[in-house]
Chain A
Amino acid sequence: MRELVKKLTSIYGPAGNEELVSQAIREEIESYVDEIEVDVMGNLIAHKKGSGNGKRIMLAAHMDQIGFMVTHIDDKGFLRFSNLGGISVANSINRRVIFESGLAGVIGYETEIDSWKDITLSKMYIDIGVSSKEEAEKLVKIGDVAVYHPLFSESNGKYISGAMDDRAGCALLVQTIKNIGSTPNDLYFVFTVQEELGLRGARTAAYALEPDIGIAVDVTATGDTPKCRPMAVSLGKGPAIKIKDASVLAHPLVKELMISTAEKHNIPYQLEILEYGGTDSGAIHLSRGGVPSGVLSIPCRYIHSDSETIDASDLDNGVKLLTKILEEDINI
């Protein structure tokens, strides 16, 4: 699992540009599934046929990570950018970023500003170390996207890296695909695109697949750091079964299924209420005539920074739990 997570979190794949992640995941799972295809939005859809008479289940983990899109190159070769997905000022200042080509840069801000509160993304820039517009134009163009420079660390059973959101979810799905035995259920593992831009890939994939049930796998915040926003989720206490976030109220029957499966197999779990934020299930559950959906969450600290931190055991237990859920006879 560690190597898989390390590999996936280091691949360049900002929202709208998920091709490399898609290729890598495809290589990992090809021999384990019955069909694979890529749709017009770029979603990677892997079908694992059920033994019959089960439910049609759509799983979703998003391949895209947040990024910085170059919108302007100034006379001195500094790059102005706009955010793709939720980028905060605090998580960007003086950080190192990297483009698909391998070009590295640093995010600076207009230091004549006195107060941090007055800094906005439009007062920041990417420094790629050139001194003129012409030099810059040889290396980048408007529309190019940079991501946090990847660096994977492990510390006391915690994995630390940018893009855990949601490569950890992708890893969880990949491992589930490899581990799962026979199941009555027809499984569609969708590695979605553009979740960070508004759950976009999931919306079209769900429409096309018409599943009976949807389960997204994504990261969620924790309430276990000093003087943090209170939340009853901690690292190391198991994968979280989402009750709600701003995009979806997990369907009570799907939530029950997840809880009872965890209890049946003695897999540790937590219950999660997130007062903001959304996941692919937000789009899936409103598709066509409605799809009862839930979310399996991986507790994660420092979300949308370059050092998102998860617990290895939560990930392992997440794989266990999801595998067992998908092997169940479901009555929804």
Chain B
Amino acid sequence: MDAKQFLGQLIDVPGVSGYENKISKMIMEAFEPYCDEVYRDAFYNVYGKKLGNRSGHGPKVMLAAHLDEIGLMVKDIDEKGFISFTNIGGVDQRILLSQEVYVHGKEKLFGVIGAKPPHLQERKEAQKAVPMKEMAIDVGLPAEKVKELVSIGDLITFKSPLVELKGTNVCGKSIDDRAGVVVMYETMKELEKLVFSGEVYFVATAQEEVGTRGAIISTYKVNPDIGIAIDVTHGDTPDAPKTETHAMDKGPSIGVGPNMHPKLTKKLMDVAKENRIDFQVEVAPGLTGTDARSMQISREGVPTVLIELPLRYMHTTVETLNMDNVKKAAKLIALFIASMEEGWEECLTY
């Protein structure tokens, strides 16, 4: 299965934070052919274990890309059958009006998020963003039917299948961080062409969007020597500050800052340069908003590096990604793992 195809499939499967059952199953199936062992834990973290094909004492490396997505949850159903909702993860309330959604009750129901028509709004009202608590989902069914099929706590996902834009750009929802999962998938394939010792754990983590919770749990379980977090970062747009965004066509970003191990990060950059893989630098002065923040301080500490794919319009239904970066990131990570020969422990010192 090629990367774009896989990504398209992944983003259509629901998996809001805390409810990643379905998406974790799909990912387990995809990992099967390329891993020695595939399993998941009680929190739906998926683990694909790949053993080295060369003898030696290579490191235990853990990759982490999160499989959960932001979404909504049914809060209440009123007497007319309209569904009020709350957010799971950082949903920008300004994207909600007129969105198409699926309500995952006893059946999957299609719905729209509607709101007061402009004709009925006061001028001052029209200047402000509509707060989430004033919105409702209309599934077009009578109230009793809604109450039969939908309960408080049911998940709601956005409808936004993958669309191809010009060049190698694609657009859809939840590319944050299903694209990271695709990077791991591509990395597995790349590793088959290379020689490496040690073990690699490809972990598709749960509940990242609500606080990197899956990473806390899975890093403790795996107890790796080295951590590689794969997530997305902000792609450049005209209205965003240059210091905080990255070009879409200059390669993946490598994280620099207290959350990432300095020597290990330098080695990653050296591997990229040696193999002519272009990359950008993302400077993070504090904790990054990725699984790296929790991996680094698990147990006795895990030297961690961070690779991010530039993504425009993050946390909307039109997240835009350059697929080239997926391939580049996968190649880079595979080469990085293969570069861990005798004496790799040196990279982890200070």
Contact = CB atoms under 8 A, between A and B. Distances in A.
A230 B75 contact: yes
Interface in A64-117: none
A300 B220 CA distance: 36
B210 interface: yes
A243 B41 contact: no
A100 B109 CA distance: 57
A290 B75 contact: no
Given A230-B76, A232-B75, A273 B210 contact: no
A289 interface: yes
Contacts of A332: 42
Interface string A211-244: 0000000000000000001111000000000011
A271 B153 contact: yes
Contacts of A232: 75-76, 152
Interface in B154-202: none
B135 interface: no
B18 A289 contact: no
A273 B217 contact: no
Nearest to B21: A252
B124 interface: no
Size range of the chain A interface in the assembly? 20 to 34
B145 interface: no
B151 A271 contact: yes
B152 A289 contact: no
B43 A292 contact: yes
B233 interface: no
A286 B213 contact: yes
B316 interface: no
B74 to A, nearest CB: 8
A275 interface: yes
A193 B43 CA distance: 27
B87 to A, nearest CB: 9
Contacts of A251: 18, 42-43
A289 B219 CA distance: 8
B88 A289 contact: no
Contact of A290 (B18, B43, B73, B210): B43
B42 A290 contact: yes
A1 B103 CA distance: 41
Contacts of A273: 73, 75, 86, 152-153
A119 interface: no
Contacts of B18: 244, 249-252
B192 to A, nearest CB: 29
B344 to A, nearest CB: 26
Contact of B217 (A230, A249, A286): A286
Interface residues of B, number: 25
Nearest to A254: B42
Nearest to B17: A249
B21 to A, nearest CB: 7
B216 A286 contact: yes
Contacts of A252: 18-19, 21
A290 B17 contact: no
A178 interface: no
A83 to B, nearest CB: 24
Contact of B220 (A230, A231, A243, A288): A288
A292 B42 contact: yes
Interface string B1-33: 000000000000000011101000000000000
Contact of A249 (B42, B76, B151, B207): B207
A231 B43 CA distance: 27
Interface in B55-95: 73, 75-76, 84, 86, 88
> Among A255, A286, A288, which residue has the most Cβ atoms of chain B within 10 A?
A286
Given A232-B75, A232-B152, A243-B152, A289 B19 contact: no
Contacts of B54: none
B221 A289 contact: yes
Contacts of B41: 289-290
Contacts of B210: 249
Contacts of B151: 271
Contacts of A231: 75-76
Interface string A280-318: 000001101110100000000000000000000000000
B73 A244 contact: yes
Contacts of B43: 251, 290, 292
B339 to A, nearest CB: 30
B276 interface: no
Nearest to B75: A273
Contacts of A253: 42
Contacts of B207: 249
B133 A243 contact: no
Contacts of B19: 249, 252
Interface in B253-296: none
A55 B151 CA distance: 29
Contacts of B218: 289-290
A232 B207 CA distance: 25
A251 B43 CA distance: 8
A253 B18 CA distance: 11
Contact of B133 (A230, A249, A255, A285): A230
A193 B217 CA distance: 23
A75 B223 CA distance: 56
Nearest to A242: B153
Interface string B204-232: 00010010010011101100000000000
Interface string B100-134: 00000000000000000000000000000000010
Interface of B: 17-19, 21, 41-43, 73, 75-76, 84, 86, 88, 133, 151-153, 207, 210, 213, 216-218, 220-221
24 contacts: A230-B75, A230-B84, A232-B75, A232-B76, A243-B152, A244-B18, A244-B88, A249-B19, A253-B42, A255-B153, A271-B152, A273-B73, A273-B152, A275-B86, A285-B213, A286-B217, A288-B220, A289-B221, A290-B43, A290-B217, A290-B218, A290-B220, A290-B221, A292-B43
